[in-house]
Every structure is written in C-alpha cells, then in structure tokens.
Amino acid sequence: MQLRGNWNYPTTIRFGAGRVTELGEAVKAAGMRNPLFVTDPTVAKMPMTASAMKVLADAGTPATLFSGVQPNPVEANIAAGVAAFRAGAHDGVVAFGGGSALDAGKLIAFMHGQTRSVFDFEDVGDWWTRADASAIAPVVAVPTTAGTGSEVGRAAVVTNEMTHTKKIIFHPKMLPKVTICDPELTVGMPPLITAGTGMDAFSHALEAYCVPSYHPLADGIAVEGVRLVKENLVAAVKDGTNIEARAHMMAAAAAGATAFQKGLGAVHALSHPVGALYDTHHGLTNAVFVPYVLAFNRKAIDEKIKRLAAYIGLRPNFRAFMDFVLELREQTGVPHTLAGLKVGDDKVDTIVKMAPEDPTAGGNPVKLDRRAARTIFMRALEGRV
C-alpha cells in the first residue's frame, strides 16, 4: 500500500514522504506571500529547516525565521513572535516543528491582530467569540514530530507564567489552512522523544475514545489511531529510519488530535499542571499517567475498553489492554512513575487543585475532583496501578 494521500479532514493535509518540497505551493494556496517561519531554537539549527526555507525562497515566498519558542511556550514567546510578525509586515505563518512550535505559530497568527490578552480567549464557554476573526492570519503547519497533532487542531496551549498554569486557547480559525505531513522530517527524532510524542498521540486517541459523550465519528478515528500506535511505535523507536513506521505514527498523531475534538480527560488534566510546574515533556507525562487513569476509570469504561482491545487484536478484556499499555511503555523507555520525570510530592496540593479546573477534566468518564486527582497522582508517583 502506498502511504500517500491528499486529505481534507479536518483540514487540507498533504501526506507522504518528501512532500515538504510542496511547501511553497502550500503557502501560496493559503494566501501568503510573506510568511513568518516559526520554530524552536533546536529545530532552527537543523538542515531540514534551511531546506524548507530554501523551498520557500525558490517558490518566490521567502520567509523570515522566528525561533523564540521554548519547549512549553509562555505568553512572552507569543508576544515576541507577534512583534516579529508586525515588524516584518507578514501575512501568515509557517509553523514548523514539534507541538510547541506549532502551537506558538498558531497563536502568533491568531494574536497579531487582537487587542486583548491571549488568556481572554481561553477555551471556556464562548470566549473565542471575543476575537476579531477577520484579523486572524493563515497558518501552514509542518510537524517534525508525530505526537501532538496540533497541525490539525483549532486550539493551542500556552503557559501563564504568573499562575504557572497551562491554558488552552481556542478559535475555529486557528485551524491551519494547509498541513504537510512528511514522515521524513521525523527521522532525526531521538528514541525517547519518538516514544514521548508517540505516546502523546496514543493518549489523545485513548482519552477521546473514553469520553462518555456520543461522537461515533471521533470514536472510529480514535480506535484506528490506537491501532496505528500499537503496531508502529516500537518499530519507530527501535529504528528511527523506518519510514513506514514513521508515516503510520504521523497519521496516528493526526488521528488523535482529530478525535480529541470530542474531548480529553484526567490524563491531560493532571499532565498540564505537572508540565507547567516541573517543565516536563508533555507526551512523556501523559504516558506516565495513562495506566493510573485507566485503572481509576475502569468501572465507567470497561465495556468500551473490551471493544477497543478486540479491535487492536488483543483478548477482549480490560486486563489485556492494561497489560498492553504497560508493555508498550516499557518497550519504549517510558518511566513507570512520575519520579522518573523528576516529579515529587512537593507540589501535590497545587496540582490537585489545578487538575479539576483544567478544561480537559470535564471529559473524564469519572468525575475528577480534588480527591480523585490526589489519588491518581499519588498512585503515579508510587507506581501503584
């Protein structure tokens, strides 16, 4: 089977090895002539970035590089990017890199024409309607990891440094106009980052599937995302040059983010404050929490997990699926406990207060209150599944 296609769900996706060469054409299709190229400092130094910028220059759409994005983006990163956008009179953004760069690029394109604080557009109720939609610039997204799926999302995460909380900013027009998913760009990812981003995709698909609201379209995409991770993540971690495995993982990332339009749950509600307070890798933090949240939610999700287990080729029961999750983490080098991420219990009171207030908490199949958050956190800290 040729792993190549042109998809328009939920946005226009040019998928396949080598398709980054179409970046100039994609930028023009999105209506840009003078894009700001947003990435992070590490990716900025890589040959693939210079190659991508040459593609743009050769197409007659030269870009200006902005790389002031840290691993967990903060408001100051977005403000600096907006200043660069305005100074260069740019008409759009090429967001190039991992989830942080993609989120930052989307937020820069969103915020350049707004007058309110970015946090006034948090994903709460209808806050997104506060934005001037006519002032939102187009985005072309080019992921270089296979995890967050931000390339197909209508939201982005930014940390409020004043409160040490991660905030989800939402607007329908934040969805990239065109996405280029080229698995060749992920070949340079080291094994642990491949594992962390892959488990991020897995947690997106799994949590979306477990959200109790009715959304069979999202559920179907989610279960296929889980299958793609099951069959390809270990191979991608063990051999980073395996383009077939890399391609399937890139598809899994897009599937997970498409599915989680349905919602997320306690994995993310706990991971967000831990990441904000300890600056941990988001995907690895999710991966640590997954089995503990599964166990906590078991009574509410048992039948759904049986169906999921059967679909991905396991015995149709909860225990078989849990064993698979634990084995997948072990095979990919994910720590079994939060201690493996250098997270302790010194901020547990703050975390259990923040988790139920996170926008993702509402999707959990079992109510996530402070007591529940403390239970899951301590089990993850101590390794008690």
pLDDT tens column, 82-98: 999 999 999 999 999 99
How far is CA 29 from each of CA 101, 136, 178, 179, 210, rounded to the nearest angstrom?
Answer: 21, 16, 8, 11, 37
Residues 93 and 199 in one domain: no
Tokens linked to 205: 């698909």
Question: What CATH number did the domain enclosing 75 receive?
Answer: 3.40.50.1970
C-beta atoms surrounding 188 within 10 Å: 15
pLDDT of residue 6: 80
Instruction: Verify that 203 and 161 share a domain, yes or no.
Output: no
- According to DSSP, the residues that pair with 94 across neighbouring strands are 37, 140
Domain identity same for 216 and 330: yes
Q: What is the pLDDT of residue 1?
A: 67
Shared domain for 205 and 336, answered yes or no, is yes
Tokens 């305005």, located at residue: 86
Cβ contacts of 344-348, under 8 Å, gap ≥ 24: 344/381, 345/378, 345/381, 347/277, 347/278, 348/374, 348/377, 348/378
Q: Are residues 274 and 253 in the same domain?
A: yes
pLDDT of 346 reads 96
Residues 299 and 201 in one domain: yes
Domain boundary among 185, 202, 218: 185
Instruction: Provide the number of structural domains found in the chain.
Output: 2
Asked if 64 and 88 sit in the same domain, the reply is yes
Q: Residues 269, 346: one domain?
A: yes
Task: Name the residue range of residue 238's domain.
Answer: 189-382
Domain harbouring 354, CATH code = 1.20.1090.10
**Residues in the chain, pLDDT under 50:** none
Given 154, 185, 216, which residue is the final one in a domain?
A: 185
Same domain as 78, residue 20? yes
What is the pTM (predicted TM-score) of this model? Answer: 0.94
Residue 371 is predicted with a pLDDT of 98
- C-alpha torsion sign, points 78, 79, 84, 88: positive
Per-residue confidence (pLDDT) for residue 164, from 0 to 100: 86
Same domain, residue pair 91 and 194: no
- DSSP state for residue 10 in the 8-state scheme: S
**134 and 215 co-located in one domain:** no
By C-alpha distance, which of 349, 332, 262, 251 is closest to 290?
Answer: 332
Q: Are residues 193 and 172 in the same domain?
A: no
Contact 88, 110 (CB under 8 A): no
Which among 185, 207, 230 is the end of a domain? 185
